[in-house]
Chains A and B, each alone.
Chain A
Amino acid sequence: MNPLELTLGIMTAVGGFVDISELVFAAKAGSTFGYALIWVFAFATIGIIVFSEMSGRVAAVAKQPVFNLMRHRLGLKLGLVTLIASVISSLITCAAEVGGVALILNYLTGAPYLILAVGLTVALIASIWVIPFEWIERSYGLLGLFMVVFAAALVAIHPPWHQIASGFVPQVPKGLTTKELLTFGYFAVAIVSAVMFPYEVYFYSSGGIEEGWSVKDLLTNRLTSILGMGLGSLLAISILASSAQLFGPANVDPEIPGTAALQAAIPFGKWGLILALLGMFFAVAGAAVETCLANAYSIAQFFGWKWGRHKKPWEAPRFTITWIALFIAALAIVLTGVDVMTLVEFAILFSILVLPLTYLPLLLLAGDRKFMGQYANGAIAKVLGWFYFAVVGCAAIAALPLYFLTSGGNG
């Protein structure tokens, strides 16, 4: 294990953890329910750590990416249903990320939003084409570390630390009306969905194969999952806590993503604002790249095409055409003028519906001793895996009714 590689891997995971959905829902959750939803972020983070570690382990031991397994485990018909659902979910997510990046660049430059969306899509495509795979994830993740300004801003505003600490204890605030309880439920489901987005697992496991992981990388996989995602989640929790402190009392329920940047501007002024916007820009741009590649990986793996960015683009032509086409499709959605916040809500809804189908085959395979040998799930991974599978199953059932009954969390 190379310590430099490990540190870079962990820092990349930290910088790449927050995407547009987490940004939006962390800020909204804090302003609406104070610190009471911090535990949901922590809880969902353990879930994504469990499944990321599992998918990385399967990639290292069995050399099988998630979608390949899905087709074999679920059968062709159910596998195809899962593929279609996950492609729709990741495409909407990618559109939300592309729209989000264009919006953030609009706050930085003032250039027209739709022109920025077109220019950014071209730039993102060029970056995937030109940069070697290892550095695609790494450059966006490391530059996303500007987001650390949100954690510094939280410290600078002297929040009530004891209340933040008590937010880590699972709770439902007392005295809520039925409507508020439903809204709390909707936010909880949305946060679970935003943190456990299926594209993260597709991308992580395919990335492991791209980088040629083997059993000697299992410790790196475990540490990257636990430390990288755990620390990344603290950034999202910082946004939630600052929002509870600054936005809740001011009657602000952030309706546009740019409002979150005020959290850094209030204590640090213009430089705080610029660092926050740069961090948001790179983190969300990284998520746009990951969702698009994850989608192309899924399609290519399902149909058995040659895939991977470790190959030259023309060596895997169908894979290359797919990820470019997906970026263009995401841009086309943005160009219809649909609101980014609406895209975020749809991305959350579709993703939670796909989550159980994503995690079931992974759970079955990672626990299969015939396939994984001594590296199959142990008792802890097994219990946590099935527990979180039940959680995402319940969340998937509750998501649509909660969305309609609460008008997408707006009461």
Chain B
Amino acid sequence: MLAYVIRRTLYGVVTVLGVLLLLFVLFFFVTAPEDIARRALGEKAPPDAIHQWIQNHGYDRPWQEMLVEHYRRMLTFDFGRSDADDAPIAKRLREGAGPSLALTVPLFVLGIPVALVLSLLVAFFRETYIDRVGVVLCVLAMSVSMLLYIIGGQYLIGKLLRWFPISGFDPDPAVVARFVALPVLVGLMAGIGSDVRFYRTVFVEEAGRDHVKTARAKGCGEGRVMFRHVLRNALIPVVTTVVLEIPFLFTGSLLLESFFGIPGLGSLTVDAINGNDFATLRTMVFIGALLFTVGQIATDVAYTLVDPRVRLE
């Protein structure tokens, strides 16, 4: 197992290094530094100021030197300063992680049990009208765009019912819950359809297996059958999706954060795209690649923990 993890990690390192190379080509060759400088300093900026900006940000050096610097910075997590307003990117990341987690952790912690319970319920009533209605609702829920959930949620819950603020954020512990309540609710609604449908399929398949029939034949109650025999054995695909999601809790949600005005890392990425802030964007893409790789390795390891039959060689 250790050998496997080491080998996977090495593959991961190669992948991340490759992503960094791609990033370099995209961001250093495709865009002229004058454009970034002008964007940051405004249209009336004199040539002196533009030149000084390019020099300060190190965009005037030979590409070989910039490539080495790019790798050094990213791999030592010294991300430098934003192209848009010169703020240290590491500081921005620290500031953004809290609001992102305030949104994604409740979404994750509530989303999984809710989806599991609902899908167990639907699977339990498989081939009855409850199952059929449930599947239809799931497909409907999956087909609706996230934007519609957001706008609909803001309109219905924020504007008409006036339960929670329509958007905004305040990290003050006294009020933070009222700001994340609506986006969490919207996120749950948006994600639940696909999750329930997926888990249901897994559970229904598992429920038809021989060991479940045996359990029933031995006189096990239906509840015990579902929770002990079906759920536990159906956990492998569930764990795969869940573990892969964990690293991305940190990077937040692009759409939810932008539309609800939550200053997390998701909206930081959107801001960087809108503001031609390539330094921040490079960092976010790199972190995304890194977390994805970590998530993949963690999923593999999680396999062995939930299923003793799986051996990583």
Q: Do A and B bind each other?
A: no
Residues of B within 8 A of A (CB): none
